[in-house]
């Protein structure tokens, strides 16, 4: 579970950097759109986990988010290739730092929803879905 949290946190940090590019005069509009999609996917996942009442619900929520992440992964890969500077740019405009709170909220909300997930980790369907989710998260990381 620690590795999963590290993966989620590192992915969120990468997407936070991407999200910072929101005010960069349109250069990164495609990055912003993909990042907003990513945030929405994680918010939906968090809500689905919070509503889950059993292992079947949890597995379904995880599989749904994995499917969404698998769809966005090729887009994220193309963006990584298109904007290699996003991984090294340390001088982003101060205006962009304001968006950090949005990403932090998503991360906090997602972390809070893991309680539902932990209750059902012994279930084989949940474990299988969690593995799929981990692979999907890795495929989206920039």
| Predicted local distance difference test score (pLDDT) of residue 72 | 93
**Which of the given ranges, 2-11, 26-35, 41-50, has the highest pLDDT on average?**
41-50
C-alpha span between 13 and 45 (Å, rounded): 18
13 or 67, which is more confident? 67
- pLDDT per position as a tens digit, 37-72: 888 898 899 899 989 999 999 999 999 999 999 999
pLDDT band at 15 (very low <50, low <70, confident <90, very high): low
Its domain, for residue 120, covers 2-140
Domains identified in the chain, total number? 1
**Is 13 in a helix, a strand, or coil?**
helix
Q: What is the pTM of this model?
A: 0.74
Rounded mean pLDDT, 106-111: 82
Q: Which residues contact 5 (CB under 8 A, 6 or more apart)?
A: 111, 114
pLDDT band at 83 (very low <50, low <70, confident <90, very high): confident
């Amino acid at each position: 579970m620690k590795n999963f949290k590290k993966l989620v946190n590192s992915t969120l940090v990468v997407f936070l950097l991407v999200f910072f590019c929101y005010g960069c005069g349109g250069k990164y509009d495609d990055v912003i759109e993909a990042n907003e999609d990513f945030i929405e996917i994680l918010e939906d996942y968090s809500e689905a986990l919070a509503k889950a009442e059993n292992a079947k619900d949890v597995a379904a929520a995880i599989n749904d988010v994995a499917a969404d992440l698998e769809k966005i992964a090729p887009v994220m890969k193309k963006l990584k290739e298109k904007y290699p500077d996003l991984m090294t740019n340390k001088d982003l405009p101060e205006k962009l730092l304001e968006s950090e709170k949005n990403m932090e909220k998503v991360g906090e909300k997602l972390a809070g929803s893991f309680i539902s997930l932990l209750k059902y980790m012994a279930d084989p369907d949940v474990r299988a879905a969690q593995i799929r989710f981990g692979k999907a998260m890795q495929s989206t990381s920039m």
